[in-house]
């Protein structure tokens, strides 16, 4: 394993990785008033469950005390699985955890290089996207009970928001308890916030087209700037940064090299039908190996 470059490794979450995350979170909690803090769960690419470990370390009680929580793109799977866990509405058996990554590949009709290559070639030849939008809700349904999948946005805590981009309005939207999205289900939320341009078809509802928030990158950056201005402390669960900048603590989920390269490799592994232990282990570790700080 030591001969393999770190960025290529997918060892799950070994103890040293967990200890690093725990230590960094403890440092943040010592200096931050959560009632005056924002939590940003930044996009995770196809390592969609990585943030679940950090949320489990924070625990439900601390999670609820943040003044505001903002979930972006595929990291929303971690958030929704975490919320379902709090409500005892997860349906993840040990067998389903073991098969999490493989089930997601089967769901997308990927079985080795051949099928994945055909999809990529089709995309390069002009197909607007690789996968249909309903696959996104199926990935949520794999791990939660139908009661949670059908739960309404109005039932969320008021400090939680999910970010999406509306194509027709050219506007970044916050899906939260008091918004115009209050009657949407969790299944509909995941279908719009994770619809990455070119990969999954956008979500359409009531004459509007929705995609993941990164589609409106300038507006997303502006929202982040406003969050930093409006809160005493900001904790950003990130894939690429691991430092403190001003009042913002960036916590990198993995230390295996460049986060951007990691996200691209996760996609490559996914499309080629290769096993990726980090998918399965993040859930197993978050549910069964660690306790809140």
Burial code (b: 16+ CB inside 10 Å, e: under 16) for 78-102 equals: bbbbbbbbeeebbebeeeebeebbb
Distance CA 212, CA 214 (A): 6
Distance CA 125, CA 234 (A): 42
Q: Is 197 exposed, middle or buried (0-12, 13-18, 19+ CB in 10 A)?
A: middle
Distance CA 148, CA 146 (A): 5
Taking only Cα atoms into account, the Rg of the chain, rounded to an integer number of angstroms, comes to 18
State residue 3's pLDDT score: 46
Over residues 54-107, the pLDDT tens digits come to 999 999 999 999 999 999 999 999 999 999 999 999 999 999 999 988 898 888
Annotated domain spans of the chain: 14-289
Contact by Cβ (8 Å): 43, 72 = yes
pLDDT over threshold 90, residue 19: yes
Choose between 205 and 44: higher pLDDT. Answer: 205
Contact by Cβ (8 Å): 75, 44 = yes
* E strand or H helix at 120: helix 113-124
Secondary structure of 121-140 in HEC code, one letter for each residue = HHHHCCCCCCECCHHHHHHH
Residues 6 or more apart in contact with residue 273 via CB below 8 angstroms: 105, 110, 111, 112, 113, 115, 116
State residue 63's pLDDT score: 97
> Which among 159, 202, 157, 161 is positioned nearest to 180, based on CA atoms?
161
State residue 234's pLDDT score: 98
Encoded tokens for 15: 């103890």
Q: Supply angle C-alpha 233, 238, 243, rounded to 5.
A: 60
Helix axes 51-65, 15-31, angle to 10 degrees: 20
Over residues 125-175, the pLDDT tens digits come to 667 888 999 999 999 999 999 999 999 999 999 999 999 999 999 999 999
pLDDT over threshold 90, residue 224: yes
């Amino acid at each position: 394993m030591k001969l393999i470059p770190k960025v290529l490794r997918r060892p799950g979450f070994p103890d040293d990785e967990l200890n690093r995350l725990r230590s960094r979170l403890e440092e943040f909690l010592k200096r931050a008033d959560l009632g005056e803090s924002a939590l940003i769960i930044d996009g995770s690419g196809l390592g969609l469950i990585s943030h679940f470990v950090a949320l489990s370390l924070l625990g439900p009680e601390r999670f609820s005390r943040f003044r505001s929580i903002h979930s972006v793109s595929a990291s929303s799977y971690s958030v929704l699985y975490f919320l379902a866990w709090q409500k005892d509405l997860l349906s993840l058996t040990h067998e389903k955890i073991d098969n999490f990554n493989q089930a997601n590949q089967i769901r997308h009709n990927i079985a080795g290089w051949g099928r994945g290559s055909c999809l990529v070639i089709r995309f390069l030849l002009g197909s607007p996207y690789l996968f249909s939008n309903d696959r996104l809700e199926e990935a949520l349904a794999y791990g939660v009970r139908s009661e949670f999948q059908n739960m309404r946005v109005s039932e969320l805590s008021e400090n939680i928001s999910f970010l999406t981009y509306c194509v027709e309005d050219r506007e970044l939207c916050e899906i939260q308890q008091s918004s115009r999205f209050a009657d949407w289900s969790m299944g509909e939320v995941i279908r719009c916030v994770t619809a990455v341009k070119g990969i999954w078809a956008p979500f359409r509802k009531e004459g509007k087209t929705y995609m993941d928030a990164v589609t409106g990158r300038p507006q997303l950056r502006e929202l982040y700037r406003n969050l930093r201005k409006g809160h005493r402390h900001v904790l950003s669960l990130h894939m690429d940064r691991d430092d403190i900048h001003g009042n913002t603590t960036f916590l990198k989920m993995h230390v295996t090299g460049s986060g951007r390269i990691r996200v691209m490799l996760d996609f490559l592994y996914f499309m080629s039908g290769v096993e990726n232990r980090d998918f399965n282990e993040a859930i197993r570790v978050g549910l069964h190996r660690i306790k809140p700080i």
